[in-house]
Amino acid sequence: MKYEVSHLEIREAVSKLCEGFPGEYWRECDSKRDYPTDFVNALTKEGYLGALIPEAYGGSELPLSAGAAILEEVHRSGCNAAACHAQMYTMGTLLRHGSNEQKARYLPGIAEGSLRLQAFGVTEPTSGTDTTALRTTARLDGDNYIVNGQKIWTSRAEYSDLMLLLARTTPRDQVKKKTDGLSVFLVDMREVRGKSLTIRPIRTMMNHATTEVFFDEMPVPKANLIGEEGQGFRYILSGMNAERILISAECIGDAKWFIEKASAYASERTVFGRAIGQNQGVQFPIAKAYSQMRAAELMLNEAIRLYEAGQNPGEEANMAKMLSADASWAAGEACLQTHGGFGFAEEFDIERKYREARLYQVAPISTNLILSYLAEHVLDMPRSY
Ligand SMILES: Cc1cc2nc3c(=O)[nH]c(=O)nc-3n(C[C@H](O)[C@H](O)[C@H](O)COP(=O)(O)OP(=O)(O)OC[C@H]3O[C@@H](n4cnc5c(N)ncnc54)[C@H](O)[C@@H]3O)c2cc1C
């Protein structure tokens, strides 16, 4: 297959690293719901998780396209970056809006891997996608903010030192705009875990190390407020394009993995005396998924191009995420169907990848919300919520 590729050397190196983590490794982690510690350590050791951090703080200062290439390659190789991808985009909030003192304190550790910034606490059980309705509060008391409330789907909290947390510092009925009065904190979970912070794992249909977290009078030093109090929603939004782009790259990687597996199997599996791939009923869904993937990849490249040119590609980043998630899902469907019964057998890894790929229709933003963004902000249709 001919693909548009950038950062060829990085891709080759990541692909080589991934060879050390074959299907057996992921199957074992999946069945035990183990965190893929060795894989995350290997990526960290090679500097991939600090790729976007500026050189001044010990990172490689690579552009977003390099981050996308790394994550795409991880997924194209049959691995899963969900255990560690958040570090690439949550770090951006600290980088853009943190003080020099905060950056100097945390970024070098994150870049070298001694400090993990993998947890991102935004979603809550009662408010869901309606982020401004979140109920977790932070009130200033002397040198600390005191946090109370609950988050859900806080992935990787058990395997992270730091959490980027969004909480309300001014009640919703006391602000002009509902997006005001929210603040972002960098929580050092090592200091509060098991005391005022409780983390409970949630078992899901795939191995994702997600959790619910509870804050009970949890102190966060005032020095760990990112930027200005009350401006947190804006700071979180400013990282969304990068997040959408990086997740889109993972979906493109998944789609390529499914398509390669499906076309190879269709060519070699013989039924009724001929390769099943000779039947157009088998060929066409794979070819269609391939064309969906290529189209999504073009949109992803356009989003990256605009992002790296310093523009705000909200439209392209959202469309890239939605189209890539749709393409990976179509490719997963085609791959599973092509494998017939064997697609359901764990040893082929297809059912695992299929479960993993489904997430991106819902998280980190669901398809409906992207369509709603396009309808309202791009096509100027009336606001629906
Ligand atoms: C495995 C996993 C990991 C996650 N990791 C994290 C994480 O690390 N940090 C974090 O903060 N969050 C995380 N999330 C949360 C994720 O971002 C949310 O699940 C997602 O944004 C959807 O929110 P919700 O689940 O509250 O759904 P809801 O908001 O309850 O929505 C339910 C359904 O209704 C639809 N819907 C809601 N409102 C509208 C509307 N106005 N118009 C049309 N349709 C609508 C949605 O599209 C969705 O399909 C994770 C979720 C999962 C499942």
What are the pLDDT digits (tens) for 96-151? 999 999 999 999 999 999 999 999 999 999 999 999 999 999 999 999 999 999 99
Q: Tell me, yes or no, whether 336 lies in a domain.
A: yes
* pLDDT at res. 6: 83
| Ligand 1 atom with minimal separation from the 129 CA | 29
CATH code, domain with 373:
1.20.140.10
Structure tokens at 246: 């990086």
- Rounded alpha-carbon distances, angstroms, from residue 270 to 238, 273, 342: 52, 6, 14
Q: What is the pTM of this model?
A: 0.97
Helix axes 64-76, 8-19, angle to 10 degrees: 30
Query: Looking at 179, 202, 233, which one is the last position of a domain?
Result: 233
Whole-angstrom distance, CA of residue 44 vs CA of residue 169: 34
Whether residue 84 is found in the same domain as residue 59: yes
CATH code, domain with 90:
1.10.540.10
Whole-angstrom distance, CA of residue 98 vs CA of residue 238: 13
Smallest Cα–Cα separation from 77: which of 280, 260, 335?
A: 260
The answer to whether 169 and 230 have CB atoms below 8 angstroms apart is: yes
Q: Tell me, yes or no, whether 171 lies in a domain.
A: yes
Q: Which residue matches tokens 């100097």?
A: 104
Q: Tell me, yes or no, whether 385 lies in a domain.
A: no
Whether residue 88 is found in the same domain as residue 143: no
Residue of 124, 129, 208 to test ligand 1 pocket, by largest number of atoms within 8 Å of CB? 129
Query: Looking at 233, 258, 280, which one is the last position of a domain?
Result: 233
Whole-angstrom distance, CA of residue 66 vs CA of residue 7: 6
Check if 368 has its Cβ closer than 6 Å to any atom of ligand 1: yes
Query: Looking at 112, 146, 177, which one is the last position of a domain?
Result: 112
Whether residue 242 is found in the same domain as residue 341: yes
- Rounded alpha-carbon distances, angstroms, from residue 184 to 18, 165, 256: 34, 5, 36
Domain extent for 241: 237-378
CA 96, 101, 105: angle at the middle one, nearest 5? 95
- Rounded alpha-carbon distances, angstroms, from residue 177 to 25, 168, 231, 270: 49, 13, 11, 63
The answer to whether 100 and 223 have CB atoms below 8 angstroms apart is: no
3-state helix, strand, coil in the chain (%, to 5): 55, 15, 30
Total domain count, the chain: 3
Whether residue 143 is found in the same domain as residue 241: no
Whether residue 79 is found in the same domain as residue 25: yes
Residue of 123, 130, 134, 184 to test ligand 1 pocket, by largest number of atoms within 8 Å of CB? 123
Whether residue 241 is found in the same domain as residue 361: yes
One digit per residue, pLDDT tens: the chain, 385 residues? 555 568 999 999 999 999 999 999 999 999 999 999 999 999 999 999 999 999 999 999 999 999 999 999 999 999 999 999 999 999 999 999 999 999 999 999 999 999 999 999 999 999 999 999 999 999 999 999 999 999 999 999 999 999 999 999 999 999 999 999 999 999 999 999 999 999 999 999 999 999 999 999 999 999 999 999 999 999 999 999 999 999 999 999 999 999 999 999 999 999 999 999 999 999 999 999 999 999 999 999 999 999 999 999 999 999 999 999 999 999 999 999 999 999 999 999 999 999 999 999 999 999 999 999 999 999 999 999 8
Structure tokens at 355: 């479960």
